[in-house]
Amino acid sequence: MDVKSLTCKPETINLKRAIQSSKKKKPRTGIQCCSLKQDLQGQSVAVIGLGKYGRAAARLALARGASVVAIDQNQSLPPLEQDPVFEKVNGNGLTTVPGHFDTELLENVDAVVVSPGVPIENYGLSRLLGSGKRVMSELDFAAEVISRSVKILAVTGTNGKSTVVTFAGQMLDHLGIEAFVGGNLGNPLSEAALQCFQMPSSKPRFQVAVVEVSSYQMEISKLFFCPSVAVVLNLTPDHLERHKSMRNYALTKCRVLSHMTNTKLGLLPFGKYSNHFQVIYLGKSGRAAVRLALARSASVVAA
């Protein structure tokens, strides 16, 4: 993406460098939804954080053929093995580990899937990321098996995400377009992937996925979640207790734009919060209220 820089007072953020660094690892091609159901057969997956995101990711991992170690810091958490929801997919091995555990366990699995509520400072995740271990967010784990024919609209920003996502879903429904609406709002994206697996044919369950994306969901760099359209509504200080600085928060939010190539479309905020950051475009642009810049690798709209 030909975005030169993003400045967030009082700190300067080089968005171009951040996006380019995320492109050092090329996005992988996701498998076709429903066409390869047991792609994790014989592998082990650890899922950390067993709220709605972790539980959905654990079910998806089991459906994909993996054995699952489900981890949560809640000592009193009932074992997932006793949950009727998991009976249909628990044919490969499921173990719940509540409370304290030996982090060496994570070194012995093939992949680690992290719920958005779990900071990467916990469980030695930062060290695992640096070691080359396959560590993924729930969002990316689900996106890996969403069919490439499904168009993804990703909406992030500090405020207004749920309203925009809900309205977009209603518009698509009014137009007769089958859409999944979820992510940080409502159902996790892993639920969409599971519904794809449950389809009797290779035809995707949805034409469009409208996904609300939080900064927590993008804390781990993504490889598979590549929206057709990505929207950053606004950026104001929030969740700084986790992200430590406005710079980190803004860069994490803007990861939604990484890997967007060819005909992908990105929308960035302009106007009310323009004092908080500045976007400089390379390409044709006017001075109208809506400015359109067409770059070689992506299209960016500021409105």
| Three-class DSSP category at 87 | coil
| Structure confidence by residue, pLDDT tens digits, 233-254 | 887 777 777 777 888 888 888 8
| Structure confidence by residue, pLDDT tens digits, 251-262 | 888 888 887 776
Please, where in the chain does CATH 3.40.1190 lie? Answer: 3-26+147-302
The CATH T-level fold of domain 44-142 is: Rossmann fold (3.40.50)
Query: Residue 16 — very low, low, confident or very high, per pLDDT cuts 50/70/90?
Result: very low
Quick one: tokens of 108? 């012995």
Query: Residue 282 — very low, low, confident or very high, per pLDDT cuts 50/70/90?
Result: very low
Is a pLDDT exceeding 80 seen at residue 20? no
Please, where in the chain does CATH 3.40.50.720 lie? Answer: 44-142
- Which CATH number is 3-26+147-302 given? 3.40.1190
Residue in the structure block whose two tokens are 């959905």 = 56
Task: State the pTM of this model.
Answer: 0.78
Contact in structure between 222 and 139 (CB atoms under 8 Å): yes
Quick one: tokens of 298? 């992506």
| Structure confidence by residue, pLDDT tens digits, 32-62 | 444 456 789 999 999 999 999 999 999 999 9
